Every structure is written in structure tokens, then in C-alpha cells.
Amino acid sequence: MIIMKKYTLKQLAEFLSAEFKGDPDCIITGIGSLESSVPGQISFLNDAKYKKHLDTTKATVVILKPEHCDLYNGNIIIYNDPYLAYAKISLLYDDRPAALSGIHPSAIIDQNCSIDNTVSIGPYCVIGKRVKIGRGSQVHTGCVIGDDVQIGENALLYPKVILYHKVKLGNNVAIHSGSVIGADGFGNANEKGVWRKIYQLGSVIIGNDVEIGANTTIDRGAIEDTIIEDGVKLDNQIQIGHNVHIGTHTAIAGCTGIAGSTKIGRHCMIGGGVGINGHIEIADGVIISGKSAVGKSLTKPGIYASSIPAMPYQTWGRVLVKLVQLVEKKKA
């Protein structure tokens, strides 16, 4: 049975500590976009280029910046950052199934573990020796947790997450399905054309309030640990090499690859598909646009880009010819 979540305009405004105009008792049962919302939903206008949809939206309530309030005659919540308001309200309508505390009988758990009695462990999980799991954490179907792993409070491991031995998670960490934390870093030494494995002796330390997307991999350190600090947000299918250090509240979009021993600062934003070389440093507050290639340290905050946008094939051919000509001219 699905229980519909209902809030009044007044309740939502109070939740946001915001002013509102309109019917305080109108009921909101969900969230929709301005263009596709239906009666009973709340929507928001964050970018002025979408204001044309205010004339046709069927949303019962719209979240608006103060300067946009005169554009709409319906029920509104007034908020300086409507997108942030939407993010906060989304928590109230979260429809993920609630997990019940307890251990499923099919789970395999070593006797020497320390697991709080409020923890939920789903079917077919395998948990190794001396594992510690804190209060309120959820370990969903098919997760594998290696020996000596430590998991803080209110962690959420979606199905088929794998944590290798000695990995440490802080509080309120969410890891989505298919992610592997603590696999060996890509370390090899060459002996007369033959690669000799460097055994990885470090681990992975993940701070509080970190979210890791599906199928993301974070390698353990070679000697020291790979470190992901508090509040970091990682998208799907990111590769983080051994001994990488990512600072607090940095956000990284999907398909980015970060080579080993790179240090990324705090409050950085890294777009999708970025490639970052190893053994470099990126300063606090750096923004890197998607598809960029970062080959050397970025020592000052700012916006960086290196990709060439798509263009017609014939145009690209002419651009390539010009690039070759420039190289040849420089040689001459």
C-alpha cells in the first residue's frame, strides 16, 4: 500500500522558513516541472529562460525568487534560491522503501563483528571478520564487506556494493549499486619488459555525508590511504586512483577519471568525462568543464576548460589542417 505524502502550502513554507502568498491550506502531494506538473504538485522557477511556462503551468504552488513574484498570480513560496528550496523539499517526498532493522537469515556474517541492533542487513550479504557497523545503517541485498571494515551511523549501501578490507566509512554515507571501494590501485613496476605487481598496502577513508554514485570505483592506497573528505558528492562511473585525496564538498560528475596521487581541493566542481593526470594538485574552488584534460596542477581557483565542442565534420577537418599548419610554421 502506497501512502501519499501531503503537505499544505503553509507547512512547506514553514519548513523552508520562507514567506508565501496564496491559500495556506492548499494541499501539495508531489513535485513536478513547470512544464509537466499537474494539480497538487509544487514546482519552481530558477532560470528566467523558463518563465514562459508560468503562463501554462498546472502546478498548485510555484517557488519563485522575489524578483519573479509579479510574473505569477497563483500560490507561491518566495525563496532566493528556488533550486535549493526544491532540493530541500524533495526530502519530504522521498519515496524510497523503508528498511526494517534486523538481519536477513540468508546473510553470512562472521561472529566477531560489532553490528548495532538498529542496523538492517538484507538478503545474501557477506560480511567478513571484525566488521563494525554503526547505528541506523542499511546494507542492502548482495553487498560484500571485507574484513576489518568500519561503517559509521546511518550509512546506506545499495544492492551489490563491495567494500574491500579495512575500508572506513563515516556517518551518513550513501553508496549506490555496483560501486567498488578499496580495490587494488593500478601499481606495477617494469622488470625487463615484465610487469611486477606492487601490492597495495593502504586503504580508503571516506568522511561524513559523502554520496557515491553507481558503478564508481575508488582504489585503495599503495602505502598511504586514499581519502575522500566530508560532503564530497561523486556521480556514477567515476574512477579514482590510489592515494587520491579529495577535499570537502567537492562534486564530480560522471565518467571522470582521476589518476593516482592527485590532490583535489575543497569546494571544487568537476564536469563529466574529465581526465585528470596523476601526481598533480588542484586548488580549492576550481571548476573544470566537462571533457577537459588536466595534465598539470591548477594552483588558483577559477574556471578551466580544454575540450573542443562538436562541429560539422568538414569544419573539423579544416580546423585540424590549420592546427598542423601552425605546428609546421613554428618548426620553420
Which residues are catalytic, by number? Answer: 242
CB of 75 closer than 8 Å to CB of 9: yes
The whole-angstrom distance between residue 56's C-alpha and the CA centroid of its chain comes to 33
Helix, strand, or coil here: 93? helix
Instruction: State how far the Cα of 47 lies from the Cα of 82, in Å rounded to an integer.
Output: 9
CB of 226 closer than 8 Å to CB of 216: no
CB of 60 closer than 8 Å to CB of 39: yes
HSE at residue 202, side-chain half, CA atoms within 13 A, is 24
Instruction: State how far the Cα of 145 lies from the Cα of 179, in Å rounded to an integer.
Output: 12
The grid cell for 291 is 571533457
Instruction: State how far the Cα of 26 lies from the Cα of 284, in Å rounded to an integer.
Output: 44
